Amino acid sequence: MSIRHGLLALLERGQMYGYQLRAAFEESTGSTWPLNIGQVYTTLARLERDGLVRSLPESEAGQRPYEITDAGRADLTLWFATPISRADRPRDELSIKLALALTTPGVDVRAVVQTQRSATMRALQELTRLKYASDKPEDLPWRLVLDAMLFQAEAEVRWLDHCETSLVRYRPAPGRPTGHPEAVDRTDEAARR
Amino acid sequence: MSVVLELRNVHRTHGVGAAAVHALRGVSLAVRAGELVAVMGPSGSGKSTLLALAGGLDRPTGGDVLVEGEPLGVLGARELARLRRRRIGYVFQDLNLLGSLTAVENVALPLELDGVGLRAARRAALAALDEVGVAGLGDRFPDQMSGGQQQRVAIARALVGERRLVLADEPTGALDSQTGEAVLQLLRRRVDAGAAGVLVTHEARHAGWADRVVFLRDGDLVDSTAPLIGVEQLLSGSGR
Ligand SMILES: Nc1ncnc2c1ncn2[C@@H]1O[C@H](COP(=O)(O)OP(=O)(O)OP(=O)(O)O)[C@@H](O)[C@H]1O
Ligand SMILES: [Mg+2]
């Protein structure tokens, strides 16, 4: 998640100081990405260094508001106009884990699949509950964020179901010819179950 | 909250000897008032079997099924039928609406069979249709309604009266996602109002409405989701 662009988008609404930015950020994403104030200030410092925001004189209460610059506005427009590259997303640890589980002796792959499925299902339950609870029109941005997470969790469960079905047919047979009679017997056994 | 449905070490075997199919192999499950449990599992894992046993539509070959503490095994056919009409709402995978009856007649039927007067049954049926958002379709026959509308009528029939246990087998079958969502919301609302519910589904999205999801594999309950946690933990634990 780009905190930089998140803050720029908020400053586009008008000038704000650190704590306001943090609150507005969390509000607009339904607290999905809690920010600590330190992250806000480091990001603001970098944005200022790059000329995308400008700090204004401190208020009497000692708060320093920031405003977006023209360069910042251009950067923000570009961000909205550019699709997010799949390569920028974190590596999918789960698929790597399953691939390794399949080839590591002594690992119960079905159990790995089931453990993950339970955990993902539980997340899905939580997300559904949150969505059910936020039905006001002004909750829309937050609901869309929830939907994105729901769709991702759903896709993961589907993929796990798919893995399980494939596993029933999978026969780890190092060195054993595929046409071996014993292997064939086992296939029949699995198909019956 | 009180346990409404309880399965104690339930077995269901079809056939005997070498040809025997073990549809359920010793399943235990308790569902409380106010709780919605989703049952997931691959095709043939025993989901519909479990639901049919819970609804008294089928009898176990071993173990006990109890509804509000009453073991179904000791009930005769008539008593069982009465218990099904009064306390159990069942949404079938294939709807099961009677084609010769209008929507309101379909919904009123279980009440009438139960001795409720015609007029009172009709009033309750109209209220149930209203609750599922098809109040205006009471006088239509099933073949004059869309699949989604029929589904709502089937749900109304399962929810009418004071059913304490609502059982639904893939109730969102042929529905688009919006209508499916609405059906689940109805189920959820009834459970929140104090019923116990069991939902059989293939769809993770739909199982997401449950308080607990259990997983069947080859007739065994192999896993269950942990109790729900707080929002904060969920958000800090994932999606970052
Ligand atoms: N009357 C019957 N005679 C023999 N076997 C049966 C009978 N009814 C069900 N079975 C078997 O019992 C097992 C469980 O069936 P069940 O209908 O409960 O599966 P399910 O989990 O609901 O599957 P699906 O997701 O496809 O609806 C299956 O292997 C099925 O073939
Ligand atoms: Mg079934």
The best mutation among B11, B48, B58, B214 to test binding of ligand 1, ranked by most ligand atoms within 8 Å of the C-beta, falls on: B48
Q: Distance, in angstroms, between B70 CA and closest chain A CA?
A: 31
Structure tokens at A130: 């949150």
Report pLDDT for A191: 44
What does the pLDDT look like over B90-136, one tens digit per residue?
887 766 788 889 999 999 988 888 788 889 899 999 988 988 888 89
Query: Where residue B203 sits, what CATH number does that domain have?
Result: 3.40.50.300
The residue range of the domain holding B170 is 3-96+163-236
Question: Would you state the pLDDT for residue A140?
Answer: 85
- pLDDT value of position B55: 93
B196-200 and B36-40 as β-strands: parallel, antiparallel, unpaired?
Answer: parallel
Q: Beta B3-14 vs A66-68: how paired, if at all?
A: unpaired
Q: Which of B188, B208, B223 sits opposite A127 (nearest CB)?
A: B208
A104-154: per-residue pLDDT in tens? Answer: 778 788 888 998 899 999 999 999 988 888 878 888 888 888 889 999 999
Pocket of ligand 1 (CB under 6 A): B 14, 21, 23, 41, 43-49
Q: What's the rounded Cα separation, in Å, for the pair A98 and B14?
A: 36
| Mean pLDDT value across chain A | 81
Q: Chain A partners of B205 at a C-beta cutoff of 8 Å? A: 124, 128, 150, 154
A157, B204: Cβ pair inside 8 Å? yes
Which chain A residue shows the shortest CA-CA distance from B218?
A193
Note the ligand closest to the C-alpha atom of B58: 1
Query: What integer pLDDT is reported at residue A181 of this predicted model?
Result: 42
Q: Is residue B237 pLDDT above 80, yes or no? A: no
> Sorting pLDDT into bands at 50, 70 and 90, what band is A34?
confident
Domains: count for chain B: 1
pLDDT at A188 exceeding the cut of 50:
no
Q: Are A161 and B42 within 8 A, CB to CB?
A: yes
Fold classification of A3-88 is Arc Repressor Mutant, subunit A (1.10.10)
Q: Give me the residue spans of the domains in chain A.
A: 3-88, 93-192
Residue nearest to atom 26 of ligand 1 (CA): B43
Residue B18 forms part of a structural domain:
yes
Complex prediction ipTM: 0.77
User: What pLDDT band is residue B225 in, cutting at 50, 70 and 90?
Assistant: confident
- DSSP conformation letters of chain A: --HHHHHHHHHTTS-B-HHHHHHHHHHHTTTSS---HHHHHHHHHHHHHTTSEEE----TTS---EEE-HHHHHHHHHHHHSPPPGGGSPP-HHHHHHHHHHHSTT--HHHHHHHHHHHHHHHHHHHHHHHHH--SGGGHHHHHHHHHHHHHHHHHHHHHHHHHHHHHH----TT--TT-HHHHHHHHHHHH-
- Average pLDDT of span A21-26: 88
Alpha-carbon distance A126 to nearest alpha carbon in chain B (angstroms):
7
Looking at residue A89, its pLDDT comes to 59
Note whether residue B138 is domain-resident: no
Closest partner CB to B231 (pick from A124, A130, A193): A130
**Residue B20 CA from chain centroid, whole number:** 27
Range of A6-10, B118-122, B196-200 with top mean pLDDT: B196-200
In a 3-state reduction of DSSP, which class is residue B82?
Answer: helix
Question: Which residues 133-152 of A are in CB contact (within 8 Å) with B?
Answer: 149-150
User: A88-92, B78-82, B143-147 — which is least confidently predicted?
Assistant: A88-92
Q: Which is more confidently placed, A60 or B229?
A: A60
**Average pLDDT value for residue range B38-65:** 94
When CB atoms are compared, the residue of A34, A129, A164 closest to B236 is A34
In a domain, residue B200? The reply is yes
Residue B141 lies in a domain: no
Q: Measured between alpha carbons, how far is B114 from A78 in angstroms, rounded to an integer?
A: 67
